[in-house]
Copies of this chain bind each other. A is one copy, B any other.
Amino acid sequence: MDRYQFYRVCGVNLDLAIEAHALLRGATKREIPGVKEDKEHHPHATITTIHIFNLEGARALGKTPGTYITIEAPALLRADPPVQEAVAHLLSQKLTLLLQNLKIGPADPVLVVGLGNWQATPDSLGPKVISEFTVTRHLFQYAPQTLPPGSRPVSALSPGVLGTTGIETAEIIRGVVDRTQPKVIIAIDALAAGDLHRIGTSIQLTDTGISPGSGVGKQRIAINRDTMGIPVIAVGIPTVVHAAVIIYETLARTHQSIQAEFWTGDPNWVKGLIQEILKPFGGNLTVTPKEIDDLIHNLAWVVGAALNQTLHTTLLKTKAAIPLH
């Protein structure tokens, strides 16, 4: 049993396509049909773009067909302003690319959704980002004189989490989409990675939206073009790993059979082991670094800066003075 099978057996979602791809290639020792991967190298970051072309590739990776871009920037942990600005710039370039591919024009209305729970630090990335960029949709009605021609209506929503609202997040967003008619959603979410090294250092963009079971808060219903009626770009950053990852790491380093990657034991045994260890809190247990508050603070700034650069090109060019809300 390799890591990939292990995560499948124990129901741990691999939020990052780059992890799914790497694991699968490691397991199969060959290229996956219907999947293509490109790499770019930048001073502070490596960018990997994975295209899943068809259902064969989708089934193999457990991901919807589409584009998955991962910016890997370990230097983000240093909280160094020049690094943060460079990564924000790369993120903005890739966001712009995805919007162009989706034929979203520079003045088309965009809804940014900050998923997660602002009261639980590891899951607060989405709501925190909402404070870090400029919304303009209301100005078209209340202060049109402050907007240069060609400005884009940008709106934002922090829908909360199922446990606090009692409502599926997808239902809340779809309701707001129906009323406000944006052309595209950009959803920001804290992810769970399969590797501790990715916490706070990887940023994934995808044009496929958010899948059920992904994110720290674990969406139940997808937030994607099917459920929303418009395209959904998701920007996700791992802030935790699932506790089962630690179990795997331990097994992998101590069980000959797992290391040999042909472990033939009963998957139910693995499942039972995990359920027994992670019984409290229904297994909803995440591993997170102590300095999670600094991490979220810095990452929210990076994503907010990228959103401003991407969505407000006209405003930034004309140096228009947007008033406070």
Interface residues of A (CB under 8 A from B): 75, 77-80, 117-123, 130-131, 134-139, 142, 153-168, 171-172, 174-180, 196-197, 199, 216-218, 220, 243, 246-247, 249-251, 253-255, 273, 276-281, 284-295, 297, 319, 321-325
Contact assessment for A158 and B156 in the assembled complex, using a CB-CB cutoff below 8 Å: no
* Cβ-defined contact, A325 with B163, below 8 A: yes
Cross-chain contact B278 with A284 (CB below 8 angstroms): no
Copies of the protein in its oligomer: 4
Q: Which of B142, B293, B323 contacts A77 (CB 8 A)?
A: B323
User: Min CB distance, A147 to chain B, in Å?
Assistant: 12
**Residue among A78, A80, A273, A294 facing the most chain B CB atoms (10 A cut-off):** A294
Which residues from B are CB-within-8-Å of A197? 280
26 A-B pairs in the complex with CB atoms less than 8 angstroms apart: A79-B134, A79-B322, A119-B131, A119-B297, A120-B293, A122-B288, A130-B164, A135-B165, A138-B162, A138-B167, A155-B165, A156-B165, A158-B158, A163-B291, A164-B325, A171-B179, A175-B177, A196-B279, A246-B246, A247-B250, A249-B277, A281-B290, A284-B290, A285-B288, A288-B288, A294-B325
Residues in B whose Cβ lies below 8 Å from that of A286:
287-290
| B321, A78: Cβ atoms closer than 8 Å | yes
Q: Which of B79, B131, B217, B277 contacts A250 (CB 8 A)?
A: B277
B contact residues around A325 at 8 Å (CB): 161-164, 291, 294
Q: Is the CB of A158 within 8 A of B160?
A: yes
